[in-house]
């Protein structure tokens, strides 16, 4: 899975450079997030602008990251979710569980 | 039932690397629907998702002890109906006993069947002699 990690404004910004998150690669995303959190990175923004498809296992991987960060009183944010992908969050009502912003600027601005 | 306009039969090894291929077939079919008046982009995504989830389900419930095991996916497009059948060779499961997700305390897994049921019009799972069949129907308007 193509993932890119940058440190911006104190956040670990993880860009998912895949069009598709499904049961074939979601395990890798879950594992990557867990290792990141284990290392102490608990201010995480996942940038999903390039993702045009997510299945239930992909939602599960993000949920796993969200839970781990919440347990350490950190912050786990999703950014730039495409419309059809967003409909999956709505259908599973996970849009009420995750902190979601339209873009990185919005995510940073709420911090100020 | 009348003859199908399009019939696609695919047999894949029980491996998740083929999910993209199966899902893409669903997206392409949505774009071939001449008389569909609804949101075509949404339907394309939904068919991609449903085929992905149903295939994962078949792989998960497949015959682990047989490395040559396969999943067969059969898609029939009729005038006003899309019919998807996914065949697995495993122990099967009881569709009636698959619970709704716990929306208040969401779990990391167990949402696949819920998504299929939410997006499609009919979902059944039957055990046949040599295999199990998950049959999914979507009425097209």
Q: Could you give the domains of chain A? A: 3-85 (3.30.750.24)
B6-139 maps to CATH 3.30.565.10 = yes
Nearest to B45 among A57, A59, A84 (CB): A84
Which residues from A are below 8 Å from B61, CB to CB?
none
Residues with Cβ within 8 Å of residue A79, at least 6 apart in sequence = A45, A46, A47, A48, A49, A100, A101, A102, A103, A104, A106, A107
Q: Which residue carries 């992908």 as its tokens? A: A85
Cα separation, A34 vs A28, in Å, equals 10
For helices B40-60 and A83-91, angle between their N-to-C axes, nearest 10 degrees: 60
The string of DSSP codes covering A5-17 is: EEEETTEEEEEE-
Residue A60 corresponds to which tokens in the numbers above?
Answer: 């599960």
Residues with Cβ within 8 Å of residue A109, at least 6 apart in sequence = none
Q: Do A59 and B111 touch (CB under 8 A)?
A: yes
Q: Do A87 and B112 touch (CB under 8 A)?
A: no
Alpha helices in chain A (DSSP H): 26-38, 56-71, 83-91, 104-109
Tell which residue, A108, A75, A109, A81, has the closest CA to residue A94: A81
What's the ipTM? 0.94
Torsion of CA B34, A89, A13, B53, to 10 degrees: -60
Chain B residues within 8 Å of chain A (Cβ atoms): 16-17, 19-20, 23, 41-42, 45, 48-49, 52-53, 56, 59, 101, 103, 106-109, 111-112, 114-115, 118-119
Residue A111's pLDDT band, with cuts at 50, 70 and 90, is: low
pLDDT tens-digit map of A9-36: 999 999 999 999 999 999 999 999 999 9
pLDDT tens, position by position, for chain B (141 residues)?
Answer: 567 788 999 999 999 999 999 999 999 999 888 778 889 999 999 999 999 999 999 998 876 667 788 999 999 999 889 999 999 988 888 898 999 999 989 999 989 999 999 999 999 999 888 899 999 999 997
Domain ranges of chain B: 6-139
- The two counts, helices (H) then strands (E), for chain B are 3, 5
Q: Are B55 and B22 in contact (CB under 8 A)?
A: yes
pLDDT tens-digit map of A41-97: 999 999 999 999 999 999 999 999 999 999 999 999 999 999 999 999 999 999 999
């Amino acid at each position: 899975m193509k993932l890119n990690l940058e440190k911006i404004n104190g956040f670990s910004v993880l860009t998912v450079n895949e069009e598709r998150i499904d049961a074939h690669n979601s395990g890798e995303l879950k594992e990557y997030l867990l290792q990141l959190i284990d290392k102490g990175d608990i201010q995480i923004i996942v940038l999903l602008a390039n993702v045009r498809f997510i299945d239930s296992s992909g939602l599960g991987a993000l949920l796993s990251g969200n839970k781990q960060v919440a347990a350490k009183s950190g912050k786990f944010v999703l950014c730039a979710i495409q419309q059809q992908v967003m409909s999956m969050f709505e259908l599973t009502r996970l849009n009420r569980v995750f902190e979601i912003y339209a873009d990185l600027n919005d995510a940073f601005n709420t911090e100020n | 039932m009348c003859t199908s306009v399009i019939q696609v039969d695919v047999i894949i090894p029980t491996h998740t690397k083929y999910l993209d291929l199966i899902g893409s077939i669903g997206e392409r079919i949505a774009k071939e629907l001449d008389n569909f008046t609804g949101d075509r982009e949404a339907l394309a995504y939904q068919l991609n998702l449903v085929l992905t989830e149903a295939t994962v389900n078949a792989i998960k419930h497949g015959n682990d002890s047989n490395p040559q095991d396969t999943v067969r996916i059969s898609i029939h497009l009729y005038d006003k109906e899309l019919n998807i059948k996914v065949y697995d060779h495993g122990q099967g499961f009881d569709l009636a006993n698959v619970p709704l997700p716990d929306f208040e305390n969401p779990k990391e897994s167990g949402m696949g069947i819920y998504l299929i049921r939410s997006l499609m019009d009919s979902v059944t799972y039957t055990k046949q002699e040599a295999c199990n069949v998950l049959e999914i129907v979507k009425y097209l308007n």
